Amino acid sequence: MAIQWFPGHMNRAKKALQELSEEIDIVIELLDARAPFSSCNPLIQNIIRFKRKIRILNKSDLADPEISKVWLDYFSQQENTTAILGDKDNKKQRDKIIRLCKELAPARGTSFEKPLRVMITGIPNVGKSTLINQLVGKKAAKTGDVPAVTKANQRLYVSDTFVIFDTPGMMWQKIRYPQIGYNLAICNSIGRNALDEELVALYLVEFLQQSIYRDSFAARYKLKPEQLELHYDKLLDVLANKRGCIMSGGVIDRQKISEIVIQDFRDGKIGKISLETPELWDKWISEFVEEEEQSTAEEEMHTRPEYEYNEEEQKTTRPNRTSAKKK
Ligand SMILES: Nc1nc2c(ncn2[C@@H]2O[C@H](COP(=O)(O)OP(=O)(O)OP(=O)(O)O)[C@@H](O)[C@H]2O)c(=O)[nH]1
Ligand SMILES: [Mg+2]
């Protein structure tokens, strides 16, 4: 299943983001610490390519701290980028980010005429408005735990000479790797109308079974070792029984158990979990490229005219374009 979600307002938001970026000194891009690669929107990267950036791996309170360190290292090596962790409950975060912005644009924010202009951007529901409220010191931007709460750019003030812009969460039209769609769905950055919770839960269950988090997964649902070895499809039924997700007539309510497992993950009840590492991505990308090459080769076999399979016939009936051109 390929997950795609690009509601109409995001097209307008993209244009507005493009215009706004031209008058911006610093971009703060929020990534989800549980899935930093998946939450790195290529459309945003195109817009902010030449800007000074602070990349915040947000919701780090929910991610695996060891893997977050690896990602910090990964992003710190990118051009024009300072990478830090973000956590809405970290009391020191506000001062740290304001200090960083001032350091990165020392010539700005010195007077009314030269305000420091910072734009906050990122995928839906990653915590942009929450961070803005923290930076301006009051609840000025609307927040909520569903994607696409903010629908238009909003200008707010940290001080008279420090302007900050909240922007709508942005997705992109075509998600190339299926893992990105699933990871963003698990982290609640995709609208409910664009996904099938059961498929997302199956992906998550399989991931947890095979990951370094299998013990905390087993502990959360009191799974016996042999249950942990079941095929993920069967395991979802086991989880449903354990959580009493049974409809009348004894039918298993797979929708309900899917929603429970996904919500447990989002609430951090299965543990501090990172869904991806740079190493995993290397593996996924090479598998994807291999599959793509194979299916292109198969497609070509189907569409190639028959005479091309016949080497002998090919020699006699195929026009020699090079020599024809020379004449
Ligand atoms: N655990 C955790 N939750 C966070 C953090 N930051 C934000 N949230 C929660 O994430 C949800 C989304 O926050 P918002 O600030 O509305 O996200 P947004 O990026 O502005 O979302 P859109 O406007 O829809 O694009 C809210 O329920 C926040 O409380 C964080 O650091 N840790
Ligand atoms: Mg918002």
Residue pLDDT tens, the chain, 327 long: 678 888 888 888 888 899 999 999 999 999 999 999 999 999 999 999 899 999 999 999 999 999 999 999 999 999 999 999 999 999 999 999 999 999 999 999 999 999 999 999 999 999 999 999 999 999 988 899 888 888 888 999 999 999 999 999 999 989 999 999 999 999 999 999 889 999 999 999 999 999 999 999 999 999 999 999 999 999 999 999 999 999 999 999 999 999 999 999 999 999 999 999 999 999 999 999 888 888 888 877 777 655 455 555 444 444 443 333 433
For the beta carbon of residue 253, count every other beta carbon within 10 angstroms. 15
- 154 CA distance to ligand 2 middle (Å): 10
30 within some domain:
yes
Count of domains for the chain = 2
Atom of ligand 1 nearest to the CA of 143: 16
SS3 at position 85 = strand
Give dist(CA 322, CA 327) in Å, integer.
9
* CATH code of residue 212: 1.10.1580.10
Strand pairing report for 52-58 and 154-159: unpaired
Q: Are residues 57 and 113 in the same domain?
A: yes
**Which stretches of 35-75 are assigned E, i.e. beta strand?**
52-58
Helices (H), 267-320: 278-303, 311-317
Find how far residue 23's CA is from the centre of its chain.
26
- 58 CA distance to ligand 1 middle (Å): 9
Q: Are residues 157 and 214 in the same domain?
A: no
Whether 153 and 109 have beta carbons less than 8 Å apart is answered as no
Domain housing 223? 196-266
- Residue to substitute in 41, 91, 136, 143 for testing ligand 1 pocket (most ligand atoms within 8 angstroms of CB): 143
* CATH code of residue 103: 3.40.50.300
Q: Are residues 12 and 159 in the same domain?
A: yes
Judged by its nearest atom, the ligand closest to the C-alpha of residue 63 is 1
Whether 232 and 249 have beta carbons less than 8 Å apart is answered as no
Give dist(CA 77, CA 86) in Å, integer.
18
Which of 266, 296, 312 is a domain's end point? Answer: 266
Annotated binding residue 310: no
Which of 234, 266, 298 is a domain's end point? Answer: 266
- Residue to substitute in 58, 59, 87, 130 for testing ligand 1 pocket (most ligand atoms within 8 angstroms of CB): 130
